[in-house]
């Protein structure tokens, strides 16, 4: 009898909890549209049915910051930045400037740019887009209190002035040939939107407006009815779903509940290509490179240029491309990707283990040494690259300790420059190498390149020089210095890939991996 009572009590607790689960979960959506709309959207997310045309995109990890001026994570940049927000211009799939919120621009002189703005554009909160919003955006970026990461790209921006409602003038303190590349990557904020809530309620002018975010579940966006180019948009809803494992995501694509998979590795691309009804979308070229940054001043042996050169001669990039990247990569011949301006083939240490041994024997480290290589977990291709190199270095007597670390530890190690070597991947912004130089090389100046004053001078000079011939000479010399002293070793150019269901058409993917989805249609 008592047992029956106990069981009844237990069942009662379960029933109460279940009903509370139902009620509590109504609060699941974070912000945004009306509850009826949220309900309808959530049903559609989960069921994959409904009349609306839904585009479901898989990403590898949740997005938890929607402020486009503070979030640097690729998942956000590749999926939301150019679809929820818009820049004045953007770099299209041919890496040419295409007009977004600007209709035309003029370079008045080396330091002055005038942009005419598109009229009749509205923000997602119903406000009209005007020149004041452009001015506000750059004030926001330059205000240190906002911790906008693009602040370093606009150190030469002296002023932004609204000439009238639909024209702005940018005045630079010194010429900056990469200025347009930076603008093509800078989304415009709404002046009247509350900056305090920008991280969870983004307001842009893009084709898709933010509806809700359910942590680790989905980010829902819907077609913006007042979008200035609304006729081209045929998708009603865009749902971004995080996946902790891409094999699960691919299974979901097979089941027909996932349309697109962003930032795809070559390994996963091969799996997708082997499945019926799925396809791989590849950018025409790729600005994405895998590189190893070398802490030349942390491990004594790494200060010796001959040791470094011997190590590079033990790096079998061809084998890596063949075995790990299935021949889809391109073995790097410079620190700049081959599609970028002023690229020159400068690497002169082809794979030759015997020559490497001989060179190492002329140094103080002929008996070898040990060093730590830091790799971010979850990047199988980087790990395999390190393992291939590790095996060859072992033949030189050099012991590589691979340290796999999760992102926050990797980032700590990277920014504190406390590594011997660290693997990084990077998509060069735009077509001009000066952003790479200012983001990657200039930030190494206090660490790895302090003894390379010429390199630091050239980085500085390249960022200001506007004469094309002189710039070519500067960047050629930069590439040569890097190929000789190796503060950074770029080993492969990696293709920009997306997984997609056959029914998805019209995805625009540029060399940096940015997706433009307003022209997407679902068959």
Which residues 400-419 are close enough to bind another protein by CB under 8 A?
A: 405-409, 411-412, 414-416
14 part of the interface to another protein, by CB under 8 A:
yes
34 part of the interface to another protein, by CB under 8 A:
no
255 part of the interface to another protein, by CB under 8 A:
yes
**Binds another protein by CB under 8 A, chosen from 439, 461, 472, 522:** 439
432 part of the interface to another protein, by CB under 8 A:
no
Which residues 371-400 are close enough to bind another protein by CB under 8 A?
A: none
Rounded to an integer, what distance in angstroms lies between the CA atom of residue 136 and that of residue 142? 10
**Binds another protein by CB under 8 A, chosen from 34, 36, 51, 145:** 145
C-beta closer to another protein: residue 58 or 117: 58
- Strands 497-501 and 237-242, sheet pairing: unpaired
**Binds another protein by CB under 8 A, chosen from 169, 199, 282, 480:** 199
Which residues 45-104 are close enough to bind another protein by CB under 8 A?
A: 45-48, 61-62, 64-67, 70, 72-73
Q: Exposure string (b/e) for 407-429, b if CB count within 10 Å is 16 or more?
A: eeebeebbeebebbbbbbebbbb
355 part of the interface to another protein, by CB under 8 A:
no
Rounded to an integer, what distance in angstroms lies between the CA atom of residue 255 and that of residue 511? 30
Stretch that binds another protein, among 165-173, 174-182, 238-246, 320-328 (CB under 8 A): 238-246
22 part of the interface to another protein, by CB under 8 A:
yes
**Binds another protein by CB under 8 A, chosen from 98, 135, 151, 162:** 151
C-beta closer to another protein: residue 156 or 443: 443
230 part of the interface to another protein, by CB under 8 A:
no
17 part of the interface to another protein, by CB under 8 A:
yes
Name the minimum Å distance from CB 127 to another protein: 22
C-beta closer to another protein: residue 33 or 473: 33
Q: How many CB atoms lie within 10 A of CB 152?
A: 14
The closest of 138, 117, 113, 142 to 129, measured between CA atoms, is 117
* 353 Cα distance to chain centroid: 35
Residue 173 φ then ψ, to 5°: -75, -30
C-beta closer to another protein: residue 152 or 298: 152
Residue with tokens 């997609």: 500
Cβ atoms of 178 and 432 closer than 8 Å = yes
Name the minimum Å distance from CB 225 to another protein: 25
Rounded to an integer, what distance in angstroms lies between the CA atom of residue 243 and that of residue 241? 7
Continuous H helices in 214-304: 246-254, 266-273
Q: What is the 3-state secondary structure (H, E, C) of 21-86?
A: HHHHHHHHCCCCCCHHHHHHHHHHHHHCCCCCCEEEEEECCCCCCCCCCCCCCHHHHHHHHHHHCC
Give the HSE-up count for residue 231: Cα atoms under 13 Å, Cβ half-sphere: 0
Name the minimum Å distance from CB 277 to another protein: 11
C-beta closer to another protein: residue 132 or 460: 460
Angle at 373 between CA 369 and CA 375, to 5 degrees: 170
C-beta closer to another protein: residue 170 or 213: 213
**Binds another protein by CB under 8 A, chosen from 135, 200, 355, 473:** 200
262 part of the interface to another protein, by CB under 8 A:
no
C-beta closer to another protein: residue 48 or 175: 48
364 part of the interface to another protein, by CB under 8 A:
no
Which residues 449-508 are close enough to bind another protein by CB under 8 A?
A: none
The closest of 370, 380, 374 to 416, measured between CA atoms, is 374
243 part of the interface to another protein, by CB under 8 A:
yes
282 part of the interface to another protein, by CB under 8 A:
no
Rounded to an integer, what distance in angstroms lies between the CA atom of residue 326 and that of residue 266? 7
């Amino acid at each position: 009898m008592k047992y029956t009572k106990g069981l009844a009590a237990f069942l009662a607790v379960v029933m109460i909890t279940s009903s509370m689960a139902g009620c509590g979960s109504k609060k699941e959506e974070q912000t945004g549209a009306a509850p009826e709309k949220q309900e309808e959207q959530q049903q559609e997310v989960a069921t994959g049915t409904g009349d609306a045309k839904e585009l479901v995109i898989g990403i590898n990890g949740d997005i938890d910051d929607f402020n486009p001026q503070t979030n640097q994570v690729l998942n956000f940049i590749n999926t939301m930045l150019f679809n929820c927000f818009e820049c004045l211009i953007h770099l299209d799939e041919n890496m040419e400037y295409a007009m977004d919120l600007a209709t035309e621009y003029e370079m008045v002189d080396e330091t002055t740019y005038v942009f005419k703005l598109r009229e009749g554009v509205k923000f997602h909160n119903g406000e009209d887009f005007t020149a004041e919003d452009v001015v506000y955006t750059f004030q926001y970026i330059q205000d240190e209190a906002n911790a906008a990461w693009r602040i370093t790209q606009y150190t030469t921006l002296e002023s932004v002035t609204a000439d009238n409602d639909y024209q702005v003038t940018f005045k630079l303190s010194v010429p900056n040939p990469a200025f347009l590349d930076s603008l093509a990557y800078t989304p415009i904020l709404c002046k009247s939107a509350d900056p305090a809530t920008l991280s969870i309620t983004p307001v842009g002018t893009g084709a898709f407006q933010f509806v809700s975010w359910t942590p680790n579940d989905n980010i829902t966006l819907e077609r913006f009815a007042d979008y200035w180019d609304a006729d081209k948009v045929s998708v009603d809803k865009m749902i971004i779903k995080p996946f902790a494992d891409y094999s699960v995501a691919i299974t979901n694509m097979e089941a027909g509940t996932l349309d697109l998979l962003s930032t795809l590795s070559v390994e996963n691309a091969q799996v997708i290509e082997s499945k019926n009804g799925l396809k791989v979308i590849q950018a025409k070229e790729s600005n994405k490179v895998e590189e190893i940054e070398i802490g030349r001043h942390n491990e004594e042996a790494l200060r010796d240029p001959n040791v470094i050169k011997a190590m590079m001669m033990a790096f079998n990039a061809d084998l890596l491309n063949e075995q790990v990247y299935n021949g889809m990569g391109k073995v790097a011949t410079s620190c700049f990707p081959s599609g970028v301006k002023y690229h020159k083939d400068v690497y002169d240490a082809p794979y030759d283990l015997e020559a490497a041994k001989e060179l190492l024997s002329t140094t103080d480290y002929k008996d070898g040494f040990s060093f730590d290589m830091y790799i971010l977990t979850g990047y199988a291709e980087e790990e395999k690259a390190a393992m291939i190199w590790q095996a060859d270095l072992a033949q030189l007597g050099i012991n590589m300790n691979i340290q796999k670390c999760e992102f926050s530890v990797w980032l700590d190690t990277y920014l504190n420059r406390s590594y011997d070597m660290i693997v990084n991947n990077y998509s060069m912004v735009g077509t001009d190498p000066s952003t790479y130089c200012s983001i990657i090389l200039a930030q190494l100046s206090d660490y790895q390149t302090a003894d390379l004053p010429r390199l630091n001078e050239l980085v500085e000079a390249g960022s200001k020089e506007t004469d094309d011939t002189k710039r070519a000479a500067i960047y050629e010399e930069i590439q040569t210095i890097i190929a000789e002293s190796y503060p950074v070793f770029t080993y492969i150019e990696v293709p920009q890939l997306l997984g997609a269901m056959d029914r998805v058409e019209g995805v625009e993917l540029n060399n940096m991996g940015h997706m433009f989805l307003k022209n997407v249609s679902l068959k």
